[in-house]
Amino acid sequence: MPRKTAQMPPLSAHEKRLRNTDRKLREALERLIKGLPTHPALQKRPYRLSVTTLAREARVGRNAIYTNHRAMIEELRRADRQRIVPDKLAAWEDKLAQQRSLIQVLKIEERRRTTENAVLLKRILEAEAEVARQKRHTARLIKERDQALKPIALVPRSRR
């Protein structure tokens, strides 16, 4: 709001500080609501809309908010209530996307294991067939050995 210097006395240092702090707090609240904080500690991690967060983003003391800017606390609470549903919805959508990607990974893994099981089953069947062939071969060799070890009657030849 424009000031008319002729009608109103100049602002005192205290009033200037209050207005400057109020401006900082409103700008900080707007940045926090948009999700674009400028404070390095708030850029690195998720944050909640709280007096501490607002004070950190505006780079003012929390006590200044509690003492001289109580209306900002109510605006902060209102903004936090309006923000809850979109945050929860976004978190839910992110979780759903993660679950879908996990399902796809598990399906790929299931196909890989199914293929691996089929290969192993084929190897088992081939091994069983080889065992059966070896048993038949062993039985034939044992039979030949038994025939070779069987005593043969020696019949004398007649002399003529």
Q: Quick: pLDDT tens for 83-130.
A: 655 556 677 788 888 999 999 999 999 999 999 999 999 999 999 999
Whether residue 21 lies inside any domain: the answer is: yes
In terms of residue numbers, what domain contains 25?
13-148
List, as one string, the DSSP characters of 12-64.
Answer: PHHHHHHHHHHHHHHHHHHHHHHT---SHHHHSS-----HHHHHHHHT--HHH
The chain-wide mean pLDDT, for the chain, equals 87
Whether residue 8 lies inside any domain: the answer is: no
Most confident region among 1-5, 14-18, 86-90 by mean pLDDT? 14-18
Give the span between the Cα atoms of 157 and 160, in whole angstroms.
Answer: 9
- 155: tokens are 């019949």
| pTM strictly above 0.75 | no
Whether residue 114 lies inside any domain: the answer is: yes
Whether residue 104 lies inside any domain: the answer is: yes
Whether residue 4 lies inside any domain: the answer is: no
Domain total of the chain: 1
Whether residue 2 lies inside any domain: the answer is: no
| Residue range 26-39, pLDDT digits in tens | 999 888 888 888 88
